[in-house]
Structure 1
Amino acid sequence: MACAGDAGGGNVLNIVWHEQENSFCHWLNNPSAITTEAVTSGYEANTLILQLNSIPMYVLKIWKEEFRVEAKHQYEFLESALAAGLPVPKPVGWGKTNQGLEVLATKFSGYPTDRPTKSQLEEFARILFQIHNVPLCNLKVTADMDTDIIDLLATNFFPGIERHPDIYAILQNLKGQYPCRERRLVHGDFNMGNVLISNGEITVIDWTDVHIGDIRYDLAWACVSLWIYLGEKEYNWFKNVYLACNELTVDELNVFESIAALKWILLNRLVSFPDGTRISEELRAFIEKRLPLEIYRLLD
């Protein structure tokens, strides 16, 4: 349902709500006690926490204009994922700002942990394995095209790659060598910033890139993110638990980890991450250990 009226006191941030859970709708009608806290201004979206008397209650994700994401589809996916038993946030509404930006509202699910313990990282690995193996029959999510996995990755995860011929050349040299595996649920950006903990309960957020496809890059991106931001020990804790549950080989993962590292290098060229030059150099060494030398040397 939608709250009565698209404007006025109950309309937080001038959002036109198209669908809402009753409790969220009624909660918005007490605007005097509601405050907002900006959490992140990410690459694709801005995130706000809605608070009641300084207690976090709900989260708004507002996608930037250049990213064509339909909040309705995100809402429907999260509903179906909850029903399937996945640890996702509960969706409570979706709509658009007065400027036409897509908005998704979910219940507050906690915060990321800066230094996850070994047992937490091992549990995160098991959760990613659960995501990759959930039955697909009732999930409201689209499947990618049945084409070469490298082409799919270049199209969907490497923005502006045509302006980076070195990275493009490496991907082209890997084409055709890794036939697509069985289609499974892919998160699209599984990293520690998207794994929240509240009272011991784990929730995985940011399903913008969710689809049914090849899981190898999804795992590789999670592993490389850990290697960059936490370290090799934590990376191995996570990777080893996942590989113990899955039929992937280390050699196969090495190639997809190299592709994930190339994506980070590309994104750093686009947005200049903090300490990006040093990390890019370390990732070059990471890639060199995993790809044939003649392919690695294509990287500028």
Structure 2
Amino acid sequence: MGTPIRTVKWVEKNEELAELLNRDDHLTLHPIDQGFEAEVVKLSSSDKSFVLKIWNKRSKPDVSFQYQLLHVLFERGLAVSKPLGWGINPNGEQVLLTTFDGLPIAEVDEKKMTEIANILSSIHQLQESELSNLQLPKYDFIDYFFPGVSEHADLNEALLSLVPTAKIEQKQIIHGDFHLRNILAENDRYTVIDWTNGQLGDLRYDFAWSLLLLKLYVSDWHADLFQSAYLSDHPILPKELAVFEALACLRWILLSRSGGVPRESNTLERVKGLISGNPFLSQFHFSKLNQEE
């Protein structure tokens, strides 16, 4: 396979990419991930490494916006990869080149959970006015996070009941899918990746989704540490948090029914426990929790 960056028609690129294109260095390729929406490969030169994300699946995000968003966040000192360029490859697929910033966090402890919570807090503290005239998109909450929910009568009933109670506020920049697989670690430095869902949204939902995933895939202990550290900067009333956790759980069930979330041996039992323990969900009956039921 040839060096893929030289076959890309770069729409925007920075000086570092321009210099890289003019060098004779051979770039070695190492596949990193085949996700639901894109292929990710690591490119290594003699002295640096980069990440090339190729949207060769059905997903067609606005990569131009992602490039601009990463640029602004990086310039503001947020924990994101430095974007080098974006363009179109010979197959007509959008690509994004960034710095390589390590591998997903494998293990977490109290210190790491606190630092991760502080990263999310710093993202939510950023004001739209600080984004150099970058226009953040604002989407309909249900249409964006619950596509196709109307085909699931039980989830749709619960969702339409909860959204008015939540009183969604789309005032802060949110990541939209903040979890451990989207946080890289290298030499005690953390980097948040995959900004496909970056938008103006409700920080309470962004936090609740992260908290839910910790409860489902890590442990309640780690989730409690994350919650305590985050809420010290962004207090959320218990009733508010409960309704947003309920919304996050509904989204997980919807994704689970299409096979869009990982499921471990105890995941369904954890989900059932969250449903029964949540005052906004316990009143509803859900016909199934995943596509196999």
Q: TM-score, normalised by structure 1?
A: 0.87
1:33 aligns with 2:33: no
Match of 1:23 among 16, 23, 32: 16
The 3 A distance-change label for structure 1 pair 141 and 276 is: farther
Match of 2:291 in 1: none
Match of 2:40 among 42, 47, 54: 47
- 2: distance between equivalents of 1:17 and 1:265? 39
User: Match of 2:258, SS?
Assistant: helix
The 3 A distance-change label for structure 1 pair 173 and 50 is: same
How many pairs does the alignment contain? 286
Aligned-pair distance for 1:195? 1.1
- 1: distance between equivalents of 2:271 and 2:14? 45
Q: Deviations over 1:191-230 (max 9, x none)?
A: 0111111122211111111111211110011111111221
- 1: distance between equivalents of 2:237 and 2:287? 25
Match of 2:136 in 1: 142
Match of 1:199 in 2: 187
Aligned-pair distance for 1:110? 1.1
Runs of 4+ with deviation above 4 angstroms: 29-32
Match of 1:214 among 176, 179, 202: 202
Of the structure 1 ranges 175-184 and 249-258, higher mean CA displacement relative to structure 2 is found in 175-184
1:93 aligns with 2:85: yes
User: Match of 1:175, SS?
Assistant: helix
Counterpart code for 2:237: T
1:247 aligns with 2:238: no
User: Match of 1:185, SS?
Assistant: strand
User: Match of 1:245, SS?
Assistant: coil
Query: Does the 8 A contact of 1:12 with 1:31 survive in 2?
Result: no
Identity value in percent:
31
1:265 aligns with 2:265: no
Q: Deviations over 1:69-117 (max 9, x none)?
A: 1211111111111222211110001001222221111111111211112
Q: What is the root-mean-square deviation of aligned Cα atoms in Å?
A: 2.4
Of the structure 1 ranges 133-142 and 214-223, higher mean CA displacement relative to structure 2 is found in 133-142
Equivalent residues in 2 for 1:153-192, closer than 5 Å: 153-181=141-169, 183-192=171-180
Query: Does the 8 A contact of 2:246 with 2:281 survive in 1?
Result: no
The 3 A distance-change label for structure 1 pair 293 and 29 is: closer
The 3 A distance-change label for structure 1 pair 296 and 83 is: same
Query: Does the 8 A contact of 1:141 with 1:210 survive in 2?
Result: no
Match of 1:103 in 2: 95
The 3 A distance-change label for structure 1 pair 57 and 293 is: closer
Query: Does the 8 A contact of 2:54 with 2:93 survive in 1?
Result: yes
- 2: distance between equivalents of 1:274 and 1:209? 19
Counterpart code for 1:35: T
User: Match of 2:103, SS?
Assistant: coil
User: Match of 1:115, SS?
Assistant: coil
> Tell me, which stretches of 5 or more residues in structure 2 are unaligned?
289-293
Query: Does the 8 A contact of 1:11 with 1:28 survive in 2?
Result: no
- 2: distance between equivalents of 1:257 and 1:80? 30
Counterpart code for 1:215: L
Aligned-pair distance for 1:258? 2.0
Query: Does the 8 A contact of 2:41 with 2:51 survive in 1?
Result: yes
Query: Does the 8 A contact of 1:217 with 1:257 survive in 2?
Result: yes
1:223 aligns with 2:188: no
Match of 2:105 in 1: 113
Query: Does the 8 A contact of 2:246 with 2:280 survive in 1?
Result: no
Query: Does the 8 A contact of 2:276 with 2:282 survive in 1?
Result: no
